[in-house]
Amino acid sequence: MSHDTFAVGDLTAVIGDNEAYGSHRAGYNGVHRLVHKSEPTTLFVPSVAGLNLEHIMDGDQELRDVEAGRRVFFEPRNSPMEFKRLSETEAELYQPPTPTFHLESWTRFKLVPPHYIDFTFKCRPTQHVFRHNFIGLFWASYINAPEDKSMYFRGQGAWQQLCTPVHNLGSTVTHWNNKVDLIFTPGLGDALFKNLSPLKFEDPFFYGLFGKMTFLVMFDRTDGIRFTHSPSGGGGNPEKQTSNPAWDFQYIIPIGNPENPNEDYVLKEFGFRARAVYCERLSRSEIVREFQEWRKGLA
């Protein structure tokens, strides 16, 4: 089985690996479909996914990939992945070490009533193949033609709004105290994760609006977390005459100076926890409260 349906509280989610079925295209993992009892239209573009593990990055190898299909650039989407239903509320996606980056990973999704998806990710590099100062992971959520394409978050003591005008322009927001400047080999291709916004975030959460619904994503840390936006990453919607934005995030693992790399990262486990909230429209004060209460519960 490559996917299954989970109905918990107000949410119904289809979670699965990269395998195609029905109208769902191959190469998209994570939450294939997400609906709320108050909104029957799926939040994510039906043929693709949300919370989809999209890229493994080192600033070099993925950017050299210009072949059709871009199997290195999109390595997590093109490499074997195993779906397992753990319970009535929880699923796991396991990916054995990938062909280029040799990264092994485990992703768990757990639906929690009334309207939460708890997300736990861990990974293990198995070889010394990363060419610069970081291991990068990137997740994409392709949103189903919302009227408002923006991502909202807190920064500089106020609410910030990120809605990039085109793909690969001012796409990525780092934490205000970010100390890791990623190194990229000069002269290679462009990507969302190479293009930084002047905006900075304070608290590790962002949200977007989908009709009368709020989609909120919260993280257990600021270290390594980055937010990324594309106005058109999910393609177009001819019926609504608009594009499908991508509300994305990254997890960056520093591995030392490229001239003297810290090879101790091999066979170590790295990871983080997150929670997605999908519910009827929340006020900004309610969003902050959701984040504060969740973080308090993690302690």
247-296 pLDDT per residue, tens: 999 999 999 765 555 568 999 999 999 999 999 999 999 999 999 999 99
Domain span at residue 67 reads 3-298
- Mean pLDDT within 162-174: 98
Q: Which residue has the tokens 């984040």?
A: 291
| Identity of the residue numbered 27 | G
Q: Which residues contact 81 (CB under 8 A, 6 or more apart)?
A: 17, 18, 29, 93, 94, 95
Which contacts (CB < 8 Å, 24+ apart) does range 82-87 have?
82/17, 83/1, 83/2, 83/3, 83/4, 83/15, 83/16, 83/17, 85/1, 85/4
Tokens of 119: 């997300």
* Average pLDDT of the chain, as a whole number: 96
Nearest Cα residue to 54 out of 121, 139, 172: 139
**110-122, pLDDT tens digit by residue?**
999 999 999 999 9
* pLDDT higher at 259 or 72: 72
Q: Kindly tell me if the per-residue pLDDT of 140 is higher than 60.
A: yes
Q: Which residues contact 299 (CB under 8 A, 6 or more apart)?
A: none
Of the pLDDT bands very low, low, confident and very high (cuts 50, 70, 90), residue 1 is: confident
Nearest Cα residue to 5 out of 138, 111, 135, 127: 111
Q: Which residue has the tokens 């810290």?
A: 262
How confident is the model at residue 81, as a pLDDT? 98
d(CA 111, CA 11): 8
Q: Kindly tell me if the per-residue pLDDT of 3 is higher than 90.
A: yes
Nearest Cα residue to 249 out of 295, 201, 296: 201
- Mean pLDDT within 214-218: 99
Of the pLDDT bands very low, low, confident and very high (cuts 50, 70, 90), residue 243 is: very high
> What percentage of the chain reaches a pLDDT higher than 70?
98
Q: Kindly tell me if the per-residue pLDDT of 241 is higher than 60.
A: yes
Q: Which residues contact 2 (CB under 8 A, 6 or more apart)?
A: 16, 17, 18, 19, 21, 83
d(CA 248, CA 143): 10
Tokens of 84: 């397992």
Q: What is the pTM of this model?
A: 0.96
Q: Which residues pair with 173 in a beta bridge?
A: 227
- Mean pLDDT within 193-207: 99
**78-120, pLDDT tens digit by residue?**
999 999 999 999 999 999 999 999 999 999 999 999 999 999 9
**45-61, pLDDT tens digit by residue?**
999 999 999 999 999 99
Q: Which residues contact 283 (CB under 8 A, 6 or more apart)?
A: none
As for how many domains the chain has, the answer is 1
* CATH of residue 255: 2.70.98.90
Side-chain half-sphere of 260: how many Cα atoms within 13 Å? 0
